[in-house]
Amino acid sequence: MAITVNTHDKVSGPIHYATGSLSAADVSVDFPTSGVAGEPLVISLGFVPTYFKLWNVTDGVSGTWMKGFAAGYYELSVIAGDKTYVNTNAAFTVGTDGTVSIETDTNVLITDGDLTVWEARG
């Protein structure tokens, strides 16, 4: 019996990679970079990612999204090792336009003053 494997994408060119961090000011309750409380932080990557990870280093939690996941869905990992597939209260959404929107109101991955870093590949 043959096993069928579906391949969505094969990289034939350069692989894009970007990392960054969010300062305490970026993740404050009033979120000064947007000018409007509760507005998401938008990271413009310059490429469409196939992988995105957001780590809250201070609290030891992370969220990972990979191509194939629905918008707003991600895997939540906690320091104790538990992993959950999250499909409500999206901490971040990866767009098809090369942007990532990070929520600031209902985000378990970002809290005031925590060191938060991100990584994108595509």
Instruction: Look at residue 67 in the predicted model and tell me its pLDDT.
Output: 92
Judged against a pLDDT cut of 80, whether residue 5 lies above it is answered with no
DSSP class of 15: P
**Best CA proximity match to 94, nearest among 23, 57, 40, 13:** 40
**Best CA proximity match to 79, nearest among 100, 108, 51:** 108
**Best CA proximity match to 63, nearest among 52, 51, 76:** 76
- pLDDT tens, residue by residue, 57-104: 888 999 999 999 887 888 999 888 888 888 876 778 898 899 988 876
- pLDDT tens, residue by residue, 7-50: 555 666 788 999 998 765 555 444 444 445 567 778 899 999 99
**Please, are residues 45 and 19 in contact by the beta-carbon 8 Å criterion?**
no
Total-model pTM: 0.78
Alpha-carbon gap, residue 69 to 85, rounded angstroms: 10
